[in-house]
Structure 1
Amino acid sequence: MSSDVRFIDFKSDKQPTWCPGCGDFGTMNGMMKALANTGNDPDNTFVVAGIGCSGKIGTYMHSYALHGVHGRALPVGTGVKMANPDLEVMVAGGDGDGYSIGSGHFIHAVRRNVDMSYIVMDNRIYGLTKGQASPTSREDFETATTPEGPKQPPVNPLALALSAGGTFIAQSFASDAQRHAELVQKAIEHDGFGFVNVFSPCVTFNDTDTYDYFRDNLTDLAETDHDPNDFDEAKDRIMDADAEYQGILYQDEDSVPYHESHGVTENMTEIPDGAPEDATDLVREFY
């Protein structure tokens, strides 16, 4: 790892194709800043992403990366971390990718407590497929395919993580650049599975959960007396349906990550003869 790595070192030469104003720009910038602030560099970082608008993020970041299939980014990230515990593994996804088809993988990744970070861009809609209700959409959220709303309560990803034994559960807002980067950094530094649900507004298909909505309704836990080490207090905050929070909801500071508790400490990978040893030498024709 390098002490002089810069934010820009994690930016690839690929031009993002997200809609102008998409919250994913801010989410990605915070991820890159957090990686740089923790002393990581592209040569020791592996970013795994799934399908959806969020799935493009591995293309736009300069690091080792894999663009996987829908809902399956977490098991890939788990395998990478188990094979090479020295790598900084970051998994990126969206609310549809992570809390619908990928929900089973999410719960088991949380309970295993693998030492990696999971950043979910939650825009409360399926953006890539042009605006259907997602698992986190409100019960009365009207779309072309749900004209009267989904008529089912939204998934509470923070509650899922807490009930599965999560050791680091946080929530951030893509537009609050400094705070978002700080929370992602805390997730990276945590010994175990660092989960951050990011409110990342979709400016094209969701005119309800907007930047203005979150600015007006988010409560930053840093401005309250919330104790993130108190499980019962975290549970009460997470289950409060009338509040939207930013900050660390819960953190177990005695957390022991999976690779330590199970003695997986050695790098099990080998670089084949002739393969590039530096991420800067990679030519990723796939993209």
Structure 2
Amino acid sequence: MSTTNGQTTNTALPVYTKKDFESGVDPRWCPGCGDYSIINQVQKTLPAVGVKRENIVFISGIGCSSRFPYYMNNYGMHTLHGRAPSFASGLKVSRPELQVWIITGDGDALAIGGNHFIHAMRRNLDLKMLMFNNRIYGLTKGQVSPTSELGKKTKSTPQGSPDYPFNPPALALGAGATFVARTIDVEGIHMGGVIKAAAEHKGSTFVEVFQNCPVFNDGAYTFLTEKAVKADALLRMEQGKPLLFGKDGKKGIRFNAQSAELEVVTIGENGVTEKDILVHDAKREDPTVAFMLANLSNRAGFPTPIGVFRDVRKPTGEELTWQIIDQTKAKKASSLEKLLAGADTWTIK
């Protein structure tokens, strides 16, 4: 891939395998950490994204997840706490031909890095953020994080947290992200599909990965992942398909026109048919329905959605920046003499 005035073009690509993206440094996370699953899926997916390895960059902040660049065999930066989006933004604007990934955690992205996070999403720079959400501070040994549940007892909140948690996909949607998704560390095939879709998107990309911390927050997502409950607990969003869930696939999400809210219904009860079920469309320009789906996980009696909430194409921040640069260059004088004698001169009396 090459670039001219901010425009990218494809050139012949080598045939990669997963091993080509392994650095040879053994990952060092705690046994059972969900990070192993995430890096495995990333390394499996990258050979198929159509980008040369030397044009792929991973940038991280601070936290357990931020060891990631050391274990990838491509360019990377391990930066400052919460500031990975700032480094990534500068790199993407100056080198638009690069595919830039941000690896972060719930504390790194949403606490000290919260302001950087929302502006990276707002500007719609073509940055691909993977946020590992274990609902705890892992590297600093078990303090409450911005995604910890209300009432969570930790080392920093021994009597229980009085703070309501962030809903990361809803926050990303509210900030203007053009691609928002969620997946789970134990759902390898699903995660691989979401990562592939994120790699193919052009614009601000946010993927929340529910990730277990076996040391400081073990079992944080068992209410979703246990075999006995996950059929009823998870709503798998697929483009163009009705939003169905449950062991027999008879439960679904319907839009109630009277209350202007989503509701759970069962096919075959009270005259409900599959035609009543909301068909998922992540390509809607208006993010209202995506926002409603993102908030289902906060409501009792509703399943937690996984998959792609939103995937729309808009001019990216770097495309608009280079457009301004090119327009400005075209207006400027072709020589220093013409520039000095141009319209922007003044006389001192």
Is the Cα contact below 8 Å between 2:129 and 2:206 reproduced in 1? yes
Q: Which residue of 2 aligns with 1:247?
A: 307
| 1:237 to 2:296 alignment | no
Deviation at 1:183, TM superposition (A): 0.7
| 1:39 to 2:50 alignment | yes
2:97 match: secondary structure: coil
Structure 1 residues 84 and 209, CA gap change in structure 2 (3 angstroms): same
Q: Which residue of 2 aligns with 1:100?
A: 111
| 1:186 to 2:197 alignment | yes
**Count of aligned positions:** 265
Please point out which of 263, 270, 273 is paired with 2:322.
263
Deviation at 1:142, TM superposition (A): 1.4
Is the Cα contact below 8 Å between 2:57 and 2:101 reproduced in 1? yes
Please point out which of 204, 219, 244 is paired with 2:235.
219
Distance in structure 1 (CA, Å) of the matches to 2:14 and 2:127: 20
Q: Which runs of 5+ in 1 are unaligned?
A: 267-287
Is the Cα contact below 8 Å between 2:133 and 2:208 reproduced in 1? yes
Match runs of 1:59-74 below 5 Å: 59-74=70-85
Distance in structure 2 (CA, Å) of the matches to 1:264 and 1:183: 30
Q: Which residue of 2 aligns with 1:177?
A: 188
Deviation at 1:61, TM superposition (A): 0.9
Tell which deviates more after alignment, 129-138 or 147-156. Answer: 147-156
Give the structure-2-normalised TM-score. 0.72
Tell which deviates more after alignment, 190-199 or 28-37. Answer: 28-37
Q: Which residue of 2 aligns with 1:160?
A: 171
Between Structure 1 and Structure 2, whose CA radius of gyration is higher? Answer: 2
Residue type of the partner of 1:248?
Answer: V
Distance in structure 2 (CA, Å) of the matches to 1:265 and 1:12: 38
Q: Which residue of 1 aligns with 2:339?
A: none
How much identity, in percent, do the aligned residues show?
37
Deviation at 1:211, TM superposition (A): 4.9
Relative CO higher for 1 or 2, CA cutoff 8 Å, sep ≥ 6?
A: 1
Residue type of the partner of 1:257?
Answer: T
Tell which deviates more after alignment, 33-42 or 23-32. Answer: 33-42
Residue type of the partner of 2:146?
Answer: P
Distance in structure 2 (CA, Å) of the matches to 1:21 and 1:264: 47
1:172 match: secondary structure: strand
Residue type of the partner of 1:237?
Answer: L
Alignment RMSD: 1.8
